[in-house]
Chains A and B, each alone.
Chain A
Amino acid sequence: MHHNTEYHLTDKVLIDRVLRGDTRAFGAIIKNTENLVAQIVFKLIPVSEDRKDIAQDVYLKAFHGLSGFKFQSKLSTWIAQIAYNACLSWIEKKKPFLYGATSDDEIYFEPTNTTRHGASNDNESEKRVFEKELTGILRREIDLLPPVYQTLIILYHHDSLSYEVLSQITGLPTGTVKSYLFRARKMLKEKLLSKYKKEAL
């Protein structure tokens, strides 16, 4: 498939094609990077209507700034940086709403909130239900962390980004990224332990 091969072209080739006026190549760049952008936008922006505007804005900014991209990082890192900064600007503008807003992630995530209600009595099923429950609890606990902690912990552990890449995306020094991640992990561990007895874990 032409489209599939397009998604696997290198950053350089795709950028050259976009700069020569091939907007379809920019579509491939979007497909290649939108998961990373979604992670950032979903973690920092609790209002779903605004996510659409921000996501579009991120890519329009990336398109217009593409000629200035100097390959000092991966293209995905650069776009993630734009996304992070766009989210910061949104937070700055909509501060009052942020505190009262509730995340409507439930609509877009697979449901993880399983209860023991439908589980059979055998140990294996119970274990699976417990594991699912734990994933759901952890998701809610991550959502309660400060936004920058949420973003860092998900990008580091879920998307396997390095400290250096996280530092480039957020503009924070690597030491600060490490320290924030340490605190975030510790907070999550303590919250999990307070929900479940140590023996259960």
Chain B
Amino acid sequence: MNHSHPSESQIQEYALDKSNCTTEDIVHIESCAECSAGVKTYLLLFTKIVEQPTPVFEFDLSTLVVSQLEHANSRLSADHFVAGFLVIFSSCSIGIPLFIFRNNILYMFNDVPPFFIYSILGSTSVIVIAKILLMFKKYQNQIRLLNFK
């Protein structure tokens, strides 16, 4: 028998599915009272987790949501009309001047100094990078919050 005990993760693995354990670990665990006790505790733990009551919402979620959707559906056509109008209006406001002045658009930038263009591109890049970093920090905060109460 191997005298060094398998690690806690190997004992857990044995309790979960011993086919994932090495023969050496299986032999040790089955012949060692301490490790067998650890396995027994885990098995009891798993059984008791399965026996935990399933939480149930104290309201009829399906009826609640479906009634909201039906109510929203009746408003949808009006909302669609407004949204469609705004999309067409915005597209026309941008598209028509672009079409009319299409031959002159490139000349607009002729007199703009390159430094000015580079500074716009540079500042945009800085803002985008800063936003990405903020998002990443927010994500890390959320994970930290969940890991430690």
Let me know if A95 and B62 touch, CB within 8 A.
no
Q: How far is the CB of B109 from chain A (nearest CB, A)?
A: 38
Indicate if the CB atoms of B66 and A186 lie closer than 8 Å.
Answer: no
Tell me if A112 is interfacial: C-beta within 8 Å of chain B. yes
Interface of B is mostly: helix
B42 touches A189 (CB 8 A): yes
**Chain B residues within an 8 Å CB radius of A21:** 73
The stretch of B21-29, B53-61, B78-86 that contacts the partner chain: B53-61
B3 lies within 8 A of chain A by Cβ: no
B interface size (C-beta, 8 A) = 42
**B41 at the A/B interface (Cβ < 8 Å)?**
yes
For the complex, give the distance between the alpha carbons of A95 and B64 in Å: 28
**In the assembled complex, which residues on chain A have CB atoms less than 8 Å from the CB atom of B40?**
201
B61, A158: Cβ atoms closer than 8 Å: no
With the chains together, A13 CA to B88 CA distance in Å? 35
List residues of chain A with CB within 8 A of the CB of B61: 30, 34, 55-56, 59
Q: Which residues of the partner chain A approach B30 to less than 8 Å between Cβ atoms?
A: none
Per-residue 0/1 for B112-149: is the Cβ within 8 Å of any A Cβ (1 yes, 0 no)?
Answer: 00000000000000000000000000100111011111
Given contacts A59-B65, A157-B46, A188-B45, contact A110 B53 (CB under 8 A): yes
Say whether B49 faces chain A, with CB atoms less than 8 Å apart.
yes
Smallest Cβ-Cβ distance to B9: which chain A residue: A182
Separation of A92 and B66 alpha carbons in the complex (Å): 28
Q: Which residue of A lies closest to B38 (CB)?
A: A189
Contact A26/B66 with A88-B146, A146-B146, A148-B147 known, Cβ cut-off 8 Å: yes
Which chain A residues lie closer than 8 Å to B57 at the CB level?
A: 34, 38, 51-52, 55, 108
A188 CA / B9 CA spacing, docked (Å): 14
Assembled-state Cα–Cα distance A53/B50 (Å): 28
A52 touches B59 (CB 8 A): yes
Provide the A33-69 mask, 1 if CB < 8 A to any CB of B, else 0.
Answer: 0110011011000001001100110011001000000
Known contacts A182-B12, A189-B42, A192-B45; decide if A27 and B62 are in contact (CB<8 Å): yes
Q: Which residues of A are interface residues toward B (Cβ below 8 A)?
A: 21, 23-24, 26-27, 30-31, 34-35, 38-39, 41-42, 48, 51-52, 55-56, 59-60, 63, 88, 91-92, 95, 99, 105, 107-110, 112, 134-135, 138-139, 142, 146-149, 153-154, 157-158, 182, 185-186, 188-189, 192-193, 198, 201
